[in-house]
């Protein structure tokens, strides 16, 4: 196997024996195959779309196939094998759409090969061998590190877009332009001899498409559940039966809350589900009791201690320990071999497991509250106060510390940076990177908390909206604001967010704890030249430099 799609990849070069995430070589090969054959679907869908023919079934399948291969989503070879086989009828439908569109336009269809004509092997072992033939390593040998790395940057950005598009789609919101770019991008990476300039341009367009899909998801979430409100959340537990929900999906959370209504079961969030407490239509449920635990990578010891079942709704699952494997459930695209899967959003098995489990016997020994819900609607509601504070000099600088958390060394940089921020600065947090700062009481500034959490990584649009609004108020661009962006990245959704910021022309972004392995020195030089992108370094030196950048 060879995989370098996430930040934790072995030696920051690539996992070659087994994935640090836990996937074995068979799983890796099947994921590579699923991505490759999905390119065949997009070849036809892109061309059909250019002729005005779109197919919602093809579009939805494509985003699910790509989201399935995001880090820490699907580890089950049997399910992946089924996913791969499902490609063929979808691809045939896309091909028929293309041929019909050509006939209507009086054109002759192109003859497409490769993944457009692929035939699945008869058994799972055969599919694994087919996957090994289309691995990243094959392209590294034929195209070289720079071209392959830029192709992978584009593919990972598209995977992130697909994940956000899926979250929006389950809430009834879709954008044909987002689907069109996904198909165009996946078709583009099959081009035999792409140039660096062409790939760079496509990656910037991926950033543009990311802005569209983030806006779509923001609309889906807020129209369905209301605008997030500043909300205090119990970080702990109360006596009673309990279910723990991790991942990102608000629809699953809503359905579980409705299905547990009146059953004497408290529902708790874990990891990136914490911001769910700030949505009016979710927090109205009285048994939505609080938040348990920290970021996703701490789930194994935390799930072991939780006295009830756990529901994993999206990416972030780790190999379950034996002491809770029988009481963890997956749903949606998430899968782990031997773990019970909820296929139809009927959470009765989870509820029954909660009623059979002991639950919490006492309240948590040290009660603590977390404040969440500072999305763009809440922050812009006090924009005048913020602007006045900047103009008066009371507020010197904004820091956006956002992204993914992880277990490896170097991520203490983000907590150390948060602790070192001067009292006349405000810290915006985003994604599960917030957990590096939640223990820190940063106090208030001008009546507002100095730490404003903007939500999940799915809510990155809030940060964009706030930055653009402040730039408008000060009659400058984002780079002219007293704002520094420090990102921690882990997987593919973070990649597309970075591309979105670059598309917007944002400069001086600091990224860590390690730069992507698929970004070669030559490509990094281009990013440094165009955007002054930087790896994180020493906290004290970085902080001094950031405070002097774009000083108000």
Task: Give the pLDDT confidence of 29-43 residue by residue, as tens digits.
Answer: 999 999 999 999 999
**What structural domains and CATH numbers belong to the chain?**
10-224 (1.20.1270.20), 231-356 (3.40.50.2030), 375-548 (3.40.50.2030)
Q: Are the C-beta atoms of residues 313 and 253 closer than 8 Å to each other?
A: yes
DSSP assignment of 136-182 equals HHHHHHHH-HHHHHHHHHHHHHHHHHHHHHHHHHTTT---HHHHHHH
Within 10 angstroms of residue 447's Cβ, the number of other Cβ atoms is 8
- Dihedral sign, CA of 325, 329, 335, 338? positive
Q: What is the pLDDT of residue 375?
A: 96
* Element containing residue 231 per DSSP (H, E): strand 231-234
Indicate the SS3 state at residue 403.
strand
Tell me if the pTM is above 0.85: yes
The answer to whether residue 552 scores a pLDDT higher than 60 is no
Mean pLDDT over residues 289-299, rounded? 95
Average pLDDT, the chain: 95
Predicted confidence at residue 248, as pLDDT, reads 96
Give the pLDDT band (50/70/90) at residue 551: low
Listed in sequence order, the DSSP H helices in 307-426 are 348-356, 376-380, 383-392, 412-420
Mean pLDDT across 19-31: 96
The yes-or-no verdict on residue 223 having pLDDT over 70 is yes
CA 30/CA 36 separation, integer angstroms: 10
Residue 438 pLDDT level (bands cut at 50, 70, 90) = confident
Q: Quickly tell me which residue has 């341009």 as its tokens.
A: 201
| Per-residue confidence (pLDDT) for residue 194, from 0 to 100 | 95
Give residue 414's pLDDT band: very low, low, confident or very high (50, 70, 90): very high
**Percentage of the chain lying above the pLDDT 90 cut:** 95
pLDDT at 95 over 90: yes
Q: Which helix (H) or strand (E) holds 272?
A: none
Of the pLDDT bands very low, low, confident and very high (cuts 50, 70, 90), residue 294 is very high
Percent of the chain with pLDDT over 70: 99
Find out whether 81 and 124 touch, Cβ atoms under 8 Å: yes
Q: Which residues contact 378 (CB under 8 A, 6 or more apart)?
A: 227, 228, 229, 230
At residue 408 the predicted structure's pLDDT band, cuts being 50, 70 and 90, is confident
3-state helix, strand, coil in the chain (%, to 5): 50, 15, 35
Looking at residue 410, its pLDDT comes to 85
Q: Is the pLDDT of residue 139 over 60?
A: yes
pLDDT digits 0-9 by tens, 360-373: 999 998 778 999 99
Query: In the predicted model, is pLDDT for residue 76 greater than 90?
Result: yes
Contacts of 468 (CB under 8 A, 6+ apart): 478
Asked if 259 and 354 touch (Cβ cutoff 8 Å), the reply is no
Nearest to 167 by CA among 210, 212, 208, 216: 216
- The pLDDT of residue 88 is 97
The helix/strand/coil state of 9 is: coil
Q: Report how far residue 17's alpha carbon sits from residue 2's, in angstroms, rounded to the nearest whole number.
A: 8
Mean pLDDT, residues 506-513: 95
Asked if the model's pLDDT at residue 550 lies above 80, the reply is no
Query: Using 50, 70 and 90 to split pLDDT, how confident is the model at 230?
Result: very high
Confidence at 239, pLDDT banded by 50, 70, 90:
very high
């Amino acid at each position: 196997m060879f995989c370098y799609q996430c930040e934790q990849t072995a030696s920051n070069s690539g996992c070659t024996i087994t994935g640090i995430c836990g996937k074995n070589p068979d799983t890796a090969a099947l994921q590579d195959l699923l991505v490759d054959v999905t390119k065949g679907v997009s070849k036809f869908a892109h061309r059909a779309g250019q002729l005005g023919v779109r197919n919602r079934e093809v579009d939805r399948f494509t985003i699910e196939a790509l989201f399935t291969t995001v880090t820490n989503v699907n580890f089950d070879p049997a399910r992946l094998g089924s996913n791969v086989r499902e490609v063929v009828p979808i691809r045939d439908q896309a091909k028929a759409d293309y041929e019909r569109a050509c006939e209507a336009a009086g054109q002759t269809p192109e003859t497409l090969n490769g993944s457009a004509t692929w035939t699945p092997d008869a058994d799972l072992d055969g599919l694994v061998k087919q996957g090994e033939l289309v691995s990243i390593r094959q392209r590294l040998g034929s195209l070289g590190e720079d071209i392959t790395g830029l192709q992978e940057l584009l593919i990972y950005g598209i995977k992130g877009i697909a994940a956000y598009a899926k979250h929006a789609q389950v809430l009834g919101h879709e954008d044909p332009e987002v689907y069109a770019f996904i198909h165009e991008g996946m078709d583009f990476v099959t081009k035999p001899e792409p140039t660096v300039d062409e790939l760079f341009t496509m990656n910037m367009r991926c950033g543009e498409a990311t802005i569209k899909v983030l806006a779509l998801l923001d609309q889906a979430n807020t129209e369905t559940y209301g605008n997030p409100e500043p909300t205090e959340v119990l970080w702990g537990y109360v006596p009673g039966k309990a279910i723990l929900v991790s991942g990102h999906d608000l629809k699953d959370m809503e359905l579980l809350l409705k299905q547990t209504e009146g059953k004497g079961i408290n529902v708790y969030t874990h990891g990136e589900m914490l911001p769910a407490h700030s949505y009016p239509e979710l927090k109205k449920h009285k048994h939505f009791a609080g938040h348990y635990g920290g970021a996703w990578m701490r789930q194994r010891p935390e799930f072991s201690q939780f006295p009830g079942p756990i529901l994993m709704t999206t990416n972030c699952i780790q190999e379950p320990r034996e002491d809770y494997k029988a009481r963890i459930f997956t749903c949606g695209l998430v899968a782990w071999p031997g773990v019970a899967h909820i296929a139809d959003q009927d959470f009765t098995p989870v509820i029954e497991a909660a009623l059979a489990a002991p639950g919490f016997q006492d309240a948590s020994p040290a009660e603590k509250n977390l404040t969440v819900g500072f999305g763009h609607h809440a922050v812009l509601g006090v924009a005048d106060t913020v602007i006045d504070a900047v103009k008066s000099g009371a507020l010197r600088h904004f820091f956006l510390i956002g992204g993914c958390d992880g277990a490896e060394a170097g991520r203490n940089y983000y907590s150390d940076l948060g602790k070192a921020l001067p009292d006349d600065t405000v810290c915006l947090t985003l994604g599960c990177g917030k957990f590096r700062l939640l223990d820190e009481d940063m106090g208030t500034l001008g009546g507002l908390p100095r730490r404003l959490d903007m939500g999940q990584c799915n809510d990155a649009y809030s940060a964009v909206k706030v930055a653009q609004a402040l730039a408008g108020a000060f009659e400058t661009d984002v780079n002219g604001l007293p704002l520094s962006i420090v990102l921690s990245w882990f997987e593919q959704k973070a990649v597309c967010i970075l591309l979105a910021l670059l598309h917007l022309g944002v400069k001086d972004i600091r990224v860590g704890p390690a730069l992507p392995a698929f970004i070669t020195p030559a490509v990094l030089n281009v990013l440094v030249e165009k955007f002054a992108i930087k790896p994180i370094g020493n906290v004290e030196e970085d902080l001094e430099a950031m405070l002097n950048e774009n000083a108000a």
